[in-house]
Homo-oligomer: A and B are copies of this chain.
Amino acid sequence: MNFEEFKNCGLRRSLNILSGKWKPLILQNLFEEDRVRFVELWRNMPRVSKKVLAEQLKQLEKDLIIERTEVHNFPPEVYYKLTERGQKLGPILSELHSWGNGLA
């Protein structure tokens, strides 16, 4: 396989989607709780600026991995959850986790 073939292959797309300093941690939280509020997410990763967190969420949303739901209140409430497609990542990330721990 050369670069031209690689450009449009699924592996590259997947890794592009996952690449982003905070995306794996975001997904991890969504696998655990299945519906998480912006501020809860932010509390679990207090070293991110809210700008960056919002960016990563937007990208995941655009890639159809997560869904955003807004409750029109004041103060506003915004929830994020995995899409069906996002949930299918679960087993794969779990294997990567095991592999990274030397268990596989």
- Contact A3 B99, CB 8 Å, known A19-B19, A24-B11, A28-B11: no
**How far does the alpha carbon of A58 sit from the alpha carbon of B55 in the complex, in Å?**
32
A14 near B100 with CB under 8 A, answer: yes
| With A3-B45, A92-B99 as contacts: A15 and B24 at CB distance below 8 Å | yes
Is A2 touching B45 in the complex (CB atoms < 8 A)?
yes
For A65-93 the 0/1 string (1 means CB < 8 A from B) is 00000000000000000000000110111
Question: Whole-angstrom distance from the CB of A42 to the nearest CB of chain B?
Answer: 11
Residues of B within 8 A of A95 (CB): 91-92, 95
- Residues of B near A98 (CB, < 8 A) are 10
Q: Could you say which residues of chain B place their CB within 8 Å of the CB of A99? A: 10, 14, 88-89, 92
Q: Are A10 and B88 in contact (CB under 8 A)?
A: no
